Structure 1
Amino acid sequence: MTTATTESGGSTRDNTRKGGRWIESWDPENEQFWEATGKRVALRNLAFSILSEHIGFSIWSLWSVMVLFMGPAYHVDPAGKFFLVGMPTLVGGILRVPYTFAVARFGGRNWTIISAALLLVPSVAAAFVMHPGTPYTTFMVVAALTGVGGGNFASSMTNINSFYPLRKKGWALGLNAGGGNVGVAVIQLVALLVIGTAGAMHPKIVLAVYIPLIVIAAVLAATFMDNLAPVRSDTGAAKEAARDVHTWIMSFLYIGTFGSFIGYSFAFGLVLQNQFHRTPLQAAALTFIGPLVGSLVRPVGGRLADRVGGAKVTLWTFLAMAAATLFVVVASLQKSLPLFLVGFIALFALSGLGNGSTYKMIPGIFQAKAVARGLDGEEAATYGRRLSGASMGLIGAVGALGGLGINLVFRESFLTAKSGGPAFVAFLAYYALCSAVTWAVYLRTARAAADAAGPQRQLTYAEV
């Protein structure tokens, strides 16, 4: 027999339904409920979501550090290595769609346990194959398995999106994503420590560190996280989100922010080795800096978006990314490593800001659409959560595939020009186009609508 208990503020927890720790009632937009109960529960789930996503990102980016251990004995050329680090991005991007809907199907807590445990598969497989003589095809298959770490982001963000009220989503989603993104820098620091102490012949030490951490993350998720019963599988929302033009516009923009972050994170070490002829240890000593900076500023981007509007922050971010890319092109032509590092790390920082601001825009856009439909109060909030949750999986998937594009462009650039210069010119053009789209769709048209509406205007896309 099921026994339910009611927490202060009105949430009802059912500890036996579908595997335990189900919360049957959840209304974060109700300020009384939020202060009495919601904030504490949401923060606890956020903390352990970050831990699981953090390790997921580390495993997703595993091969960005494994290639640093692959010396001449492995017989893999630079083009092959760029393709190798791009494979997890492809698989991770595709998996983000089903991972998004897994939260509603299995529950946020339950799926966090499952998705964390799945990280053991690529980690154990890598421990078996990481040695000279392994066929390149085998490396490709095992690298593809690490895509499960990329899927974690979509389920984690969808889950946390449901826990927080609209006014807090920029901060919460930015913190959740930023804490996860730091996993890229942390595994690169672990690799640096291993190469610096044990040498470049011992990649399996990295795996020996992470396999126990995966188990710990799964156990902690089982112990401390909750499922939200009101979050249900909604194929209608998925179809509606897929038909909405804003889903695809935001996907285009997210390629520019998150696609840049993850693509540069995976490629940074290879660029340093091939363009500036750094050794594995010298490359590892630098590669973690960019992902670390980009991850730490992501919550700042979300917080700024909460205050001044995601569209405004996103526009200025893309303009700054274009300027930083131009700086990198000049540094490449001058063959100046110090200038190149300044420009490239600036790109990481700006992509982190843009990641936070674009993800804040998503729930705001669908809230604005609800208001435009004449909805208000809880009805508008429900519509916004429903559509934004569904769209996040699609947007996250397309954005992650942008990381694959980054690596493929770098691969072609080094094959033809023996330099990353042409690749950066292509990225500069993309950031310029993203700036134009952001201004045209979310700022110019919003300003015109606000002027036409006068003092009676409602929420516009410029404020998302």
Structure 2
Amino acid sequence: MVSTETSHPIDTSGIATASSTTLTRRPGRWIDGFDPENTDFWESEGRSIARRNLGWSIFAEFLGFIVWQLWSIVVVMLPAAGFAFTSAETFWLISLPSLVGATLRFPYTFMVPKFGGRNWTIVSAALLLIPAILLSFAVGNPETPFWAMLAIAALAGFGGGNFASSMANITYFFPQKEKGWALGLNAAGGNLGTSVAQFVVPIVVTAVAGVTLLPLAGWIWVPLILIAIWGAWRYMDNLSSAKADFAGSAAALREPHLWLLALLYIGTFGSFIGFASVFPKLIADQFPEFSAIQIGAAGVSLAFLGALVGSLFRPLGGRLSDRFGGARVTIGAFAVMAAGAFGIIGVLALNEFSLFLACFLVLFAATGIGNGATYRMIPSVFLARAAATGMTDVGATQRKAAAALGLISAIGAYGGFVIPQVLNASQQASGGYQPAFVGFGIAYLLLLTLTVVMYVVPRASLAQRQV
């Protein structure tokens, strides 16, 4: 057992003039006394520990998003592998992982305090092996029944749950002043997994001329998952200071603004993950000649650009919110998203792929900005609510806001199920996707109006503050 002594800065408030913290390491890579708010400890030792854990957390979450969104690109390659599923069936294969992943985010949030961040990262990464390996076997046999494919797609939801536990774990490692930066990197690293899966899989499975090796879509990630398991075991830590805040979660659930913010997050993040998952199928349905562009022997799908753009624009949403306010930036994002949705309706009538791609990339960029802006609004809203209700317990307000961040991220992920199913219903009812995009555009305008009314117009319930 190794201990190091660090001291807190002197406090002149009269509560404490000096204190020290003992950092104790126990077997199983448990750490007691980790205090990122202690400046001396943070500068001397805490930052290096936190960044090491952050790096492996990003890698594990990145692989989680890859597995979560594998079916989004695999479904468009099933016909070439001998499968003959209907369009409605493929929409279920695309959307079910999002439904399961969103649901798993609720229990995953509490796994880090119960088992330890390092331990749960090992377990959650190991669980990714199940859907990846089963997918490889299933797509290698055209006789695999739809129900079995659907069950395996549901297991891919393990990857969606990883986001909640990964974000919860990293929260405990960083001081308040650096949480935004760390959580932003963690989230962006995960989101990029969708884009990487959609870019890499078509190239790998078509690398041999004239042969589609679809089972490689799952197998190629197995070595990386094993590295993530090893890295978490070897380099990550468990913090005994990570405690489950059930009281904070219960208080957050009783807050009406949590549900309003969750609705906004369904509109932003839900749209991002929903459109990212269906983009390969939409291209294959509307512009089959552009579904895979041949570069040598390999086929490249341009669908990866959507998730890439959305992921890269997310940090910009946070930065703009710091300057102009989260509500104003969210309003702008919804306005652009509505314009993009209505623009896609006209582009589908023109049957012009370049315009179709451009409209979608604008839509993806707006969802990315909206993700960052809406997420930035959450702590601001809870601080305003505390001011309006006279709550002076800063710690309680922060715990309530932190719980809300996890809950809202889980609820927002259900958009990944809603978007594909709305498109499915539109195609079944009308034979096309235009009615769905009319609905999306109207929904974004309604969410824009909600944001203006609730978070821009001064209200007594928010202490007359603009968020």
Matched, 1:46 2:38: no
Matched, 1:288 2:318: no
Which secondary structure does the structure 1 equivalent of 2:289 belong to? Answer: coil
Inter-partner Cα distance in structure 1 for 2:202 and 2:425: 28
Residues 31-430 of structure 1 mapped to structure 2, 5 A cutoff: 34-71=42-79, 73-130=82-139, 131-198=141-208, 201-278=212-289, 280-282=291-293, 284-372=300-388, 380=394, 382-430=395-443
Aligned AA (1:291):
A
Q: CA deviation at 1:392?
A: 2.8
Inter-partner Cα distance in structure 2 for 1:320 and 1:41: 41
Task: Indicate how the Cα distance of structure 1 residues 447 and 243 shifts in structure 2: closer, same or farther if over 3 A, else same.
Answer: closer
Scaled by the length of structure 1, the TM-score of the pair is: 0.89
Structure 1 window deviating more from structure 2 (201-210 vs 167-176): it is 167-176
Task: Indicate how the Cα distance of structure 1 residues 404 and 288 shifts in structure 2: closer, same or farther if over 3 A, else same.
Answer: same
Inter-partner Cα distance in structure 1 for 2:385 and 2:290: 52
Aligned AA (1:313):
V
Inter-partner Cα distance in structure 2 for 1:43 and 1:461: 34
Which secondary structure does the structure 1 equivalent of 2:88 belong to? Answer: helix
Q: CA deviation at 1:14?
A: 3.0
Q: Give every structure 1 segment of 4 or more consecutive aligned residues whose post-TM-superposition deviation is greater than 6 Å.
A: 447-451
Structure 1 window deviating more from structure 2 (426-435 vs 281-290): it is 281-290
Inter-partner Cα distance in structure 2 for 1:300 and 1:133: 46
Which secondary structure does the structure 1 equivalent of 2:159 belong to? Answer: helix
Inter-partner Cα distance in structure 1 for 2:241 and 2:270: 32
1:84-117 Cα shifts (integer Å, max 9, x gaps):
1111011001000000111221222221121111
Inter-partner Cα distance in structure 1 for 2:22 and 2:215: 46
Aligned AA (1:351):
T
Which has more helix, going by share of residues?
A: 1
Aligned AA (1:302):
G
Higher relative contact order (CA 8 A, sep 6+): 1
Task: Indicate how the Cα distance of structure 1 residues 390 and 273 shifts in structure 2: closer, same or farther if over 3 A, else same.
Answer: same
Q: CA deviation at 1:449?
A: 6.4
Structure 1 window deviating more from structure 2 (143-152 vs 202-211): it is 202-211
Which secondary structure does the structure 2 equivalent of 1:286 belong to? Answer: coil
Q: CA deviation at 1:169?
A: 3.6
Q: CA deviation at 1:423?
A: 1.1
Which secondary structure does the structure 2 equivalent of 1:403 belong to? Answer: helix
Task: Indicate how the Cα distance of structure 1 residues 11 and 145 shifts in structure 2: closer, same or farther if over 3 A, else same.
Answer: farther
Inter-partner Cα distance in structure 2 for 1:87 and 1:180: 19
Q: Which sections of structure 2, spanning at least 5 residues, go unmatched?
A: 9-19, 294-298
Query: Number of matched residues?
Result: 448
Q: Which sections of structure 1, spanning at least 5 residues, go unmatched?
A: 452-459
The alignment-based identity, stated in percent, is: 42
